Amino acid sequence: MTRYERVPAPGGGEFDAYLALPEGGRGPGVLVFQEIFGINDNIRGICERLAAEGYVALAPDMFWRLERRFERKDESALTECMGMVQRFDLAAAGGDITAALAHLRTLPECTGRVGALGFCLGGTLTWLCATTARVDGAGIDAAVPYYGSGIHEMLDRAADLECPVLFHYGDRDPYIPAEQIAKVEAEVAGRPHVQVRHYDAGHAFSNWDAPSLYDATAAAEAWGHTTAFLATHLK
């Protein structure tokens, strides 16, 4: 079962969020943060796969302040999508992330614990969610950033990390050099319940809707680690 939710935004207004529900209608929550392509078939598919695993998956429209329900299919729109990122207000996004977390927790279908995962831009937003989003003093319970392209620039927030994290990176990623990944690894080294996994793959290896980027082997391996990690910390 799927539907769109309307989430009250900080300072007024509302934004859309795609919701996928598990069989039986209830379960732990997972926020899903989009790539630069918006809430497209790939992100909706991720939500539906999470629902099949027993989660209430909610993907907020993070580009709504620029264009509501912006959606592009694949890498053919890369230039246009990069333009959206350049106009993206990260400070405003932080408030929207907290609003989405609050909304997910209030849904009757959500049983309480909430995780977050995201891809590329969404990986960075997942890190932002884990380190800053708090509702009544409580943050998320687990985070899974896939190839978060801006995390290395936000490591000053690591002191506020309170939940387990599973990082996924491709070792042939042209957008995230090895030294940036190493910087993240060094910052989180020794923290309990934090893992950094590497794959022989490039950027956006999980996006099956972008043929030149998708790596089926790496995607399947990462998804197995992701579902095991979420089950450990959310169920």
Active site residues: 120, 173, 203
Q: How many Cβ atoms from other residues are within 10 Å of residue 115's Cβ? A: 28
| Residues 110, 98: Cα–Cα separation, whole Å | 16
Q: How many Cβ atoms from other residues are within 10 Å of residue 130's Cβ? A: 26
Sign of CA dihedral 163, 94, 204, 181: negative
Reduced to 3 states (helix: H, G, I; strand: E, B; else coil), residue 101 is helix
Sign of CA dihedral 189, 161, 49, 92: negative
N-terminal to C-terminal alpha carbon distance within the chain: 20
| Residues 65, 105: Cα–Cα separation, whole Å | 23
Amino acid at 4: Y
Helices (H), the chain: 41-52, 78-87, 90-106, 121-132, 178-188, 216-234
| Residues 115, 57: Cα–Cα separation, whole Å | 9
Question: Which residues have C-beta within 8 Å of that of residue 180, sequence separation ≥ 6?
Answer: 152
